[in-house]
Structure 1
Amino acid sequence: MTVEHFTLICDNVPNDVVLTDFGPRVIEVVKVLRRRTELGLWQSRSLLDRLPATVLEDVSQERAEATVRELLAVGAKAEVREQR
C-alpha cells in the first residue's frame, strides 16, 4: 500500500486591508473608506479612532492593493495582510 501526500496551493489567498495611520487629510481618508467599504460616514470616521483598524476583510489581492494605493495617495498609511 502506498501513501501519497499532496500539497494544495491556492493562488487566491484572502487578504485584509489594515489602516495604520490616517495622516493629515482625515476627510479624504474618510471619503476613500466610504467608497471602498460602503460604510456610512459615522462608521468610516469611527474606524480612525481604533487604529490599527482592519477596513476590509477577505478580499482579493487586486482589491486590497487598489484600496491601499488609494489610501496612500491621500496621505494615509495602510497595508495588505494575507490571511493565514
Structure 2
Amino acid sequence: MTLYATLVCDNVDHDLVLHDVGPSPMEVAKAFRSMSGLGLWWAKQAVTAAPPVRLLEEIDERDARRFAGILCAAGAWATAEPVVLAGRG
C-alpha cells in the first residue's frame, strides 16, 4: 500500500537548476564561482556538465531566485525550482 501526504508549509526549499549555459560559459562559471565559493576550474566543470544541472540544492527561495538572476545576467538559462518530495512506496 502506498501512502501519499501533502506537506503544507510557508518556506519550501528550492533548487537552482541550470538549463543552458548560453553563449559564454566562462562568464557563467565566474558568476557561479562568486556565489558558491568554488574554484574557477570546479565552477566551470559544474556549469558545463550535461544540462539540466542542479547547481545548488535545498536553498531558500529568495536565494535561489537571486542566484538564478545572477546566472541569467551572465547569459545562462537558470531557474529556481521548488523541491519536490517524492512519495515512497
Q: TM-score range by the shorter chain?
A: 0.7 to 0.9
Q: 1:8 to 1:83 in 2, by over 3 A?
A: closer
Q: Secondary structure at the match of 1:78?
A: strand
Structure 2 residue aligned with 1:78: 78
Structure 2 residue aligned with 1:9: 8
Cα deviation for residue 76 of structure 1 reads: 0.3
Structure 2 residue aligned with 1:20: 19
Higher CA-based Rg? 1
RMSD: 1.4
Number of residue-to-residue matches in the alignment = 78
Cα deviation for residue 9 of structure 1 reads: 2.7
Runs of 5+ consecutive residues of structure 2 not aligned to the other structure:
1-5, 85-89
Determine the C-alpha separation between the residues in 2 that align with 1:8 and 1:23.
36
Q: TM-score w.r.t. structure 1 length?
A: 0.83
Runs of 5+ consecutive residues of structure 1 not aligned to the other structure:
1-6
Moved over 6 A (4+): none
Cα deviation for residue 41 of structure 1 reads: 1.4
Cα deviation for residue 8 of structure 1 reads: 5.7
Task: State yes or no: 1:42 paired with 2:20.
Answer: no
